[in-house]
Amino acid sequence: MMSHYWYVAFRQPNDVPGVYVRNSKTFVTETEAKKFARERLEEGCDVSAGTINPFRPKKTVGLAQIASWLEAPDFGSTVSGAIKKT
């Protein structure tokens, strides 16, 4: 079984007002996470993402950074290869 390094958390646009329900899904690669995040954004969801503990280096992508994260090169490729478990 492959380890999942990334998560995408999202809130549906039609969720009950005043009740915050966050859904999440995990992914093996950042590319898969970005594809899923882009799809949820197109549906109008609030989206955040990041790496899963205890994997390092830690990466957190908040709602305000999602658009630039989707356009940036994959994080793993900028830190000398794969994300490592500590």
pLDDT band for 33, please (50, 70, 90 cuts). Answer: very high
Place of tokens 């039609």: 14
Alpha carbon of 41 to those of 11, 13, 17, 34: distances in Å? 10, 10, 19, 10
Environment class of residue 49 by beta-carbon count within 10 Å: exposed (0-12), middle (13-18) or buried (19+)? buried
Per-residue pLDDT tens for 43-65?
999 999 999 988 778 899 999 99
CA angle 50, 71, 59 (to 5 degrees): 20
pTM beyond 0.75: the answer is yes
